[in-house]
Chains A and B, each alone.
Chain A
Amino acid sequence: MRRRGHLLPTVVMVAALSLAAAACSSSKPKAESPSTGGGSTAGATTGSNTGTGKQIVMGTTDKVISLDPAGAYDMGSWTLQWNIYQALLKIKPGTSDIENDAASKCDWTDNTTYTCTLNPGLVFSNGDPLDANAVKYSIDRVIKINDPNGPSSLLSSLDNVSVSGTDTVVFKLKSPNSVFPYILTTGAGNIVDPKVFPADKLLADDQVIGSGVYTLSSFTKDQQAVLKPNKSYKGSDVLANSGFIVHYEQTASTLKLDVEQGNVDVAWRSLSPTDVASLQKETDKVKVVTGNGIEIRYLVFNTSLAPANNVAVRQAVAYSIDRDSIAKNVYNGTVQPLYSMVPQGLAGANTAYKDLYGATPDPDKAKSVLAAAGVKTPVDITLWWTPSHYGAVSGDEYTEIKRELESTGLFKVTLQDAEWDTYSKAYPADQYAAFQLGWFPDYPDADDYLAPFYLQGGFYKNHYDNPQIDQLITQEEGETDPTKRASQIDQIQTLAAKDVPTIPIWQGNQVAATGLTVTGVDKTFDPSYTFRMWLIGKS
Chain B
Amino acid sequence: MAKSSGSLRQYALTRLALVIPMVLILLTLVFILMRVAPGDPIQAALGAKLSPAQLAEKRHAAGFDKPMLVQYVEYLRQVVTFNFGRAITDNQPITTILRVNGAATLELTVSALIVALAIGVPIGLRAGRLRDGAFDGFGRLFGIVTYAAPVFFVGLLFQLVFSKWLDWLPNSGQLNPIDQAELPTHTNLTVIDAIWDHNGAAFTDSLKHLAMPAITLGLLLSGVVIRLIRTNIIQTLKGDYVEAARARGVPERKVVMRHAFRNALVPVVTVMGLQVALLLSGAVLTEETFNWPGIGNRLVSYLSNRDYVAVQGIITVFALAVVVISLLIDFVNAAIDPRVRY
Chain A bound to chain B? yes
Mark out the residues of chain A between 230 and 247 whose CB falls within 8 Å of any chain B CB in the assembled complex: 245, 247
Let me know if A27 and B50 touch, CB within 8 A. no
- Contacts A148-B46, A247-B173 aside, 20 further interface pairs with beta carbons under 8 A come to A21-B195, A23-B203, A25-B198, A25-B199, A28-B197, A28-B199, A30-B202, A65-B90, A221-B90, A223-B173, A223-B180, A245-B178, A249-B291, A254-B159, A257-B159, A257-B171, A261-B167, A261-B170, A261-B171, A425-B48
Mark out the residues of chain A between 26 and 67 whose CB falls within 8 Å of any chain B CB in the assembled complex: 26-28, 30-35, 55, 57, 63, 65-66
Given contacts A257-B164, A258-B171, A421-B305, contact A245 B199 (CB under 8 A): no
Let me know if A250 and B172 touch, CB within 8 A. yes
Tell me the bound Cα distance from A487 to B197 in angstroms.
Answer: 65
- CB contact between A33 and one of B47, B176, B301 (< 8 Å): that residue: B176
- Is B179 in contact with chain A by the CB < 8 A criterion? yes
Interface size class of B (residues with CB under 8 A): 35 or more
- Is B4 in contact with chain A by the CB < 8 A criterion? no
Chain B neighbourhood of A22, CB < 8 A: 194-195, 198-200, 203
Let me know if B200 and A25 touch, CB within 8 A. yes
Fill in one digit per residue for A149-178: 1 if any B CB lies within 8 Å of its CB, else 0.
Answer: 100000000000000000000000000000
Min C-beta distance of A11 to chain B, whole Å: 11
Chain A neighbourhood of B129, CB < 8 A: none
- Closest residue of chain A to B88 (Cβ to Cβ) is A148
Can you name 6 A-B residue pairings with CB atoms under 8 Å? A26-B198, A30-B182, A30-B202, A149-B89, A264-B177, A428-B48
Given contacts A148-B54, A223-B293, A421-B306, contact A218 B195 (CB under 8 A): no
- Closest residue of chain A to B170 (Cβ to Cβ) is A263
Fill in one digit per residue for B197-221: 1 if any A CB lies within 8 Å of its CB, else 0.
Answer: 1111111000000000000000000
Given contacts A65-B90, A425-B48, contact A245 B201 (CB under 8 A): no
Let me know if A250 and B50 touch, CB within 8 A. no
Min C-beta distance of B29 to chain A, whole Å: 24
- CB contact between A218 and one of B92, B159, B181 (< 8 Å): that residue: B181
- Closest residue of chain B to A201 (Cβ to Cβ) is B91
Chain B neighbourhood of A202, CB < 8 A: 91
Chain A neighbourhood of B253, CB < 8 A: none
Min C-beta distance of B44 to chain A, whole Å: 8
- Is A18 in contact with chain B by the CB < 8 A criterion? yes
- Is B339 in contact with chain A by the CB < 8 A criterion? no
- Is B3 in contact with chain A by the CB < 8 A criterion? no
Given contacts A34-B178, A245-B177, A258-B171, contact A149 B49 (CB under 8 A): yes
Tell me the bound Cα distance from A34 to B170 in angstroms.
Answer: 14
- Closest residue of chain B to A66 (Cβ to Cβ) is B90
Let me know if B100 and A220 touch, CB within 8 A. yes
Let me know if B178 and A31 touch, CB within 8 A. yes
Chain A neighbourhood of B173, CB < 8 A: 223, 247
- Is B298 in contact with chain A by the CB < 8 A criterion? yes
Tell me the bound Cα distance from A63 to B297 in angstroms.
Answer: 13
Given contacts A421-B304, A421-B306, contact A224 B177 (CB under 8 A): yes
Let me know if A263 and B177 touch, CB within 8 A. yes
Tell me the bound Cα distance from A224 to B180 in angstroms.
Answer: 8
Tell me the bound Cα distance from A28 to B173 in angstroms.
Answer: 21
Chain A neighbourhood of B199, CB < 8 A: 22, 25, 27-28
Tell me the bound Cα distance from A426 to B85 in angstroms.
Answer: 29
